[in-house]
């Protein structure tokens, strides 16, 4: 081993980076963006989930628990009518509601209380603060009931999902779409850069091809591949992994197809800003990771800090993930307005990217 | 020879940042002739070819191709462009590459003839990634001429290929010119200059001299084209 020769290799490597400022910037900016986002999501959240409280207790103790819930920092509790609860869960205005039954005070005096906890249930992680708040208010209730201990038996009911759903069922719905989106994006951006670096794009530009023809041709080619991949992913997820699915397989496939088309066009568009495959690969953490963190796959959008929620609301993956969960966990069909909105936003994003990709594909090189 | 011009370049300048790649170049290429753009590496030959096929836009001056001022997409179907590197799809076969470029130019019926012209018909099933540099250049030429363009722009087409193949290339060029195709061939190899009907000598983005090989020899005061070029380049520098 020659130290001199090893140093020569190391020096050569660093000299190359010195002149590739874009890669250098991405190398140092990407981790700050990703870790910063993660920190902000996990620690910066000021928004607590909306929870309804239906106090039907004819005695005095229900009011104590209801007040405890309203003063909890884990949730934002408001009084509701129990009959409206399910509708509010469906329209997304509540993530849960708690019913304190009419004999709640009597139950407490008898030593066992059984409040009903109704959870929306389509996203993991949203039920934890509800249960936490309820447990705290139950502890304050216990101190008011003198002479005996009180046992809590929450009756948890899920609007969607349920106890037979495991973590994979919740994440699987989102990941089925994400896997297709991510892989198609990577393949497209690298292929389009190949077209540039091997000189064939220059040839295409010197031919009668219109820019839009290149972009749409690329989109169709990769979409064919992406659709085959989408079928494979779907079959594996449903038949081998047995991920729960309440909706139509064709709707899942349709949403996957939309995500694939969005990924193809995002790849074409972003390839315009990279000069080498090396630089293109740097886009992956910068483009894909923040979307994964912010689109509700891992952390529900409703639990993010307000500023990040606005950002989540403009990301296409947020709608795609929501659409996939609507179909697979909630059993949504085409008549659901939320699914219509999700599909429309992803489709709109595809159109926007086709236009952007076409506009940035310049015929003239300089 | 007809005095109709296939290409007219009028007082064209092109800069990249502070670097002046072309500085007031004027030249005319007659229809059906083989015009050689000669000059050392970095002289501005590729920039001029890219301006002619509309990939670049001049900062000053005009470029007119087949009667249309460039850049003009409609003219591109009449132009064939062979880039300096053999720009091909390595995962496709020879025939698939040629067929692709034929399709985007609306000329699928020219594939067999193009492959025969560059003597690749027998190798049409070979995957480009497995071919030698010379064979790739031949495939690249077939892609440039498959739609029978009126104007063929060949940017250093013989770089990196052996002398035998170079002779075959020039035979093909002559046959195409005889059939009426106008050709602009850039090269920094002086022994290729004699194969052109007229030459434009470029250095530092300027046209030093223009004329037939015999004219250039006279202007440079030498029977050897290379010496004539060096003499003209020396006068320009002084």
Residue A41 has pLDDT above 70, yes or no: yes
Residue A328 has pLDDT above 80, yes or no: yes
Establish, for the pair of chains A and B, how many residue pairs have beta carbons separated by less than 8 Å.
58
> How far is residue A286 from each of residues A29, A35, A292, A334, A356, measured CA to CA in Å?
9, 11, 11, 33, 19
Residue A112 has pLDDT above 90, yes or no: no
Picking from B85, B90, B104, the nearest residue to A207 by CB comes out as B104
Q: Hey, is the C-beta of A202 within 8 angstroms of any chain B C-beta?
A: yes
DSSP structure string for B34-66: EEEEE--TTSSHHHHHHHHTTSS--SEEEEEET
Q: Answer left, alpha or beta for residue A123, where phi above 0 means left and psi between -120 and 50 means alpha.
A: beta
Q: Are B151 and B66 in contact (CB under 8 A)?
A: yes
Residue B200 has pLDDT above 80, yes or no: yes
Quote the tokens at residue A275: 């000069």
pLDDT-derived band of residue A146, with 50, 70 and 90 as boundaries?
low
Quote the tokens at residue A3: 């130290």
Closest among A351, A324, A189 to A256, alpha carbons compared: A324
Instruction: Determine whether the interchain pair A208/B89 forms a contact, defined as Cβ–Cβ distance below 8 Å.
Output: no
Q: Are B192 and B171 in contact (CB under 8 A)?
A: no
pLDDT-derived band of residue B49, with 50, 70 and 90 as boundaries?
very high
Per the model's pLDDT, the better-predicted residue between A79 and A301 turns out to be: A79
d(Cα A321, Cα A259) in Å, to the nearest integer?
Answer: 10
Determine the residue of chain A that is closest to B97 in CA distance: A200
Quick one: pLDDT at residue B168? 83
Instruction: Indicate the average pLDDT of chain B.
Output: 89
pLDDT-derived band of residue B1, with 50, 70 and 90 as boundaries?
very low
Quick one: pLDDT at residue A308? 86
Residue carrying the six token digits 């197809």 = A257
Quick one: pLDDT at residue B127? 95
Q: Give the residue ranges of DSSP H helices in A206-248.
A: 211-235
Determine the average pLDDT of the residues in A266-295. Answer: 83
Dihedral angle of Cα B2, B6, B8, B14, to the nearest 10 degrees: -150
Cβ neighbours of A361 in B, within 8 Å: none
Share of chain B above pLDDT 90, in %: 55
Cβ neighbours of B100 in A, within 8 Å: none
Quick one: pLDDT at residue A147? 64
d(Cα B227, Cα B222) in Å, to the nearest integer?
Answer: 6
Residue B30 has pLDDT above 90, yes or no: yes
Quote the tokens at residue B231: 């003499």
Given 3-state DSSP classes, what are the helix, strand and coil percentages for chain A, each rounded to the nearest 5? 65, 5, 25
Determine the average pLDDT of the residues in B92-105. Answer: 95
Quick one: pLDDT at residue A364? 45
Instruction: Determine whether the interchain pair A363/B50 forms a contact, defined as Cβ–Cβ distance below 8 Å.
Output: no
Q: Hey, is the C-beta of B57 within 8 angstroms of any chain A C-beta?
A: yes
Picking from B55, B79, B104, the nearest residue to A202 by CB comes out as B55
Q: Which phi and psi angles does A52 have, rounded to 5°?
A: -95, 145
d(Cα A320, Cα A339) in Å, to the nearest integer?
Answer: 9
B225 Cα to chain A: minimum distance (Å): 32
Residue B147 has pLDDT above 90, yes or no: yes
Rg of chain A on CA atoms, in Å: 26
Residue A362 has pLDDT above 70, yes or no: no
SS3 (DSSP) at B209: strand
pLDDT of A172-184, one tens digit each?
888 888 888 888 8
Determine the average pLDDT of the residues in B41-48. Answer: 90
Which residues have C-beta within 8 Å of that of residue B79, sequence separation ≥ 6? A206, B52, B53, B65, B149, B150, B151, B152, B153
Share of chain A above pLDDT 70, in %: 96
Residue A171 has pLDDT above 50, yes or no: yes
The mean-pLDDT minimum among A32-36, A238-242, A356-360 falls in A356-360
Dihedral angle of Cα B34, B35, B36, B37, to the nearest 10 degrees: -150
Cβ neighbours of A217 in B, within 8 Å: none
Q: Are A180 and A140 in contact (CB under 8 A)?
A: no
Residue A45 has pLDDT above 80, yes or no: no
d(Cα B154, Cα B197) in Å, to the nearest integer?
Answer: 15
Detail the DSSP E strand segments found in A136-294: 151-152, 155-158
* Contacts by A132-137, CB closer than 8 A, 24 or more apart: A132/A74, A133/A51, A133/A68, A133/A69, A133/A72, A133/A74, A133/A75, A133/A77, A134/A65, A134/A69, A134/A98, A136/A68, A136/A72, A136/A74, A137/A64, A137/A65, A137/A67, A137/A68, A137/A69, A137/A72
d(Cα B216, Cα B232) in Å, to the nearest integer?
Answer: 9
pLDDT-derived band of residue A12, with 50, 70 and 90 as boundaries?
confident
* pTM, full prediction: 0.77
């Amino acid at each position: 081993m020659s130290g001199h020769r090893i140093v020569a290799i190391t020096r050569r490597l660093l000299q190359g980076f010195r002149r590739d400022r874009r890669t250098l910037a991405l190398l140092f900016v990407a981790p700050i963006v990703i870790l910063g986002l993660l920190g902000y999501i996990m620690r910066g959240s000021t928004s607590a989930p909306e929870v309804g409280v239906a106090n039907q207790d004819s005695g005095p103790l229900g009011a104590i628990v209801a007040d405890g819930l309203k003063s909890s920092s884990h949730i934002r509790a408001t009084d509701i009518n129990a009959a409206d609860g399910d509708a509010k869960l469906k329209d997304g205005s509540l993530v849960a509601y708690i019913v304190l039954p009419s004999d709640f005070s009597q139950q407490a005096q008898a030593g066992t209380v059984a409040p009903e906890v109704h959870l929306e249930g389509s996203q993991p992680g949203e039920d934890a603060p509800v249960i936490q708040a309820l447990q705290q208010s139950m502890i304050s209730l216990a101190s008011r009931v003198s002479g005996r201990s009180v046992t809590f038996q929450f009756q948890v009911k899920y609007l969607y999902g349920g106890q037979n759903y495991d973590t994979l069922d919740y994440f699987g719905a989102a990941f089925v779409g994400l896997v297709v989106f991510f892989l198609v994006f990577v393949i497209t951006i690298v292929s389009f850069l190949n077209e540039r670096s091997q000189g064939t794009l220059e040839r295409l530009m010197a031919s009668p091809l219109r820019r839009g023809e290149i972009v749409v041709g690329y989109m169709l080619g990769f979409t064919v591949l992406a659709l085959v991949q989408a079928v494979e992913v779907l079959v594996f997820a449903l038949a081998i992994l047995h991920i729960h699915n309440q909706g139509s397989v064709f709707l899942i496939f349709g949403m996957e197809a939309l995500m694939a088309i969005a990924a193809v066009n995002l790849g074409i568009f972003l390839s315009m800003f990279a000069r080498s495959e090396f630089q293109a690969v740097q886009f992956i953490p910068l483009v894909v990771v923040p979307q994964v963190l912010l689109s509700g796959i891992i952390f529900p959008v409703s639990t993010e800090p307000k500023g990040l929620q606005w950002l989540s609301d403009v990301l296409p993956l947020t709608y795609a993930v929501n659409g996939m969960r609507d179909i697979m966990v909630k059993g949504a069909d085409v008549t659901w307005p939320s699914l219509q909105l999700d599909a429309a936003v992803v489709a709109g994003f595809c159109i926007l990217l086709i236009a952007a990709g076409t506009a940035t594909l310049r015929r003239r090189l300089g | 020879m007809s005095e109709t011009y296939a290409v007219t370049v009028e007082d064209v300048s092109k800069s990249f940042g502070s670097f002046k790649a072309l500085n007031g170049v004027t030249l005319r290429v007659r229809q059906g002739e083989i015009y050689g753009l000669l000059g050392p590496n970095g002289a501005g030959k590729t920039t001029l070819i890219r301006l002619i096929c509309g990939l670049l836009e001049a900062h000053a001056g005009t470029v007119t191709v087949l009667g249309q001022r460039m850049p003009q997409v409609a003219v591109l179907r009449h132009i064939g462009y062979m880039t300096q590197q053999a720009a091909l799809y390595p995962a496709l076969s020879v025939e698939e590459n040629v067929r692709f470029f034929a399709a985007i130019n609306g000329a699928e019926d020219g594939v067999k003839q193009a492959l025969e012209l560059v003597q690749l018909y027998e190798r049409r099933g070979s995957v480009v990634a497995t071919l030698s540099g010379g064979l790739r250049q031949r495939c690249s030429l077939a892609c440039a001429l498959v739609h029978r363009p009126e104007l063929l722009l060949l940017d250093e087409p013989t770089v990196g290929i052996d002398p035998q193949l170079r002779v075959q290339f020039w035979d093909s060029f002559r046959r195409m010119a005889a059939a009426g195709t106008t050709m602009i061939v850039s090269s920094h190899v002086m022994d290729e200059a004699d194969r052109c009907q007229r030459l434009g000598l470029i250095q530092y983005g300027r046209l030093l001299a223009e004329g037939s090989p015999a004219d250039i020899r006279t202007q440079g005061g030498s029977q050897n084209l290379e010496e004539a070029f060096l003499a003209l380049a020396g006068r320009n520098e002084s």
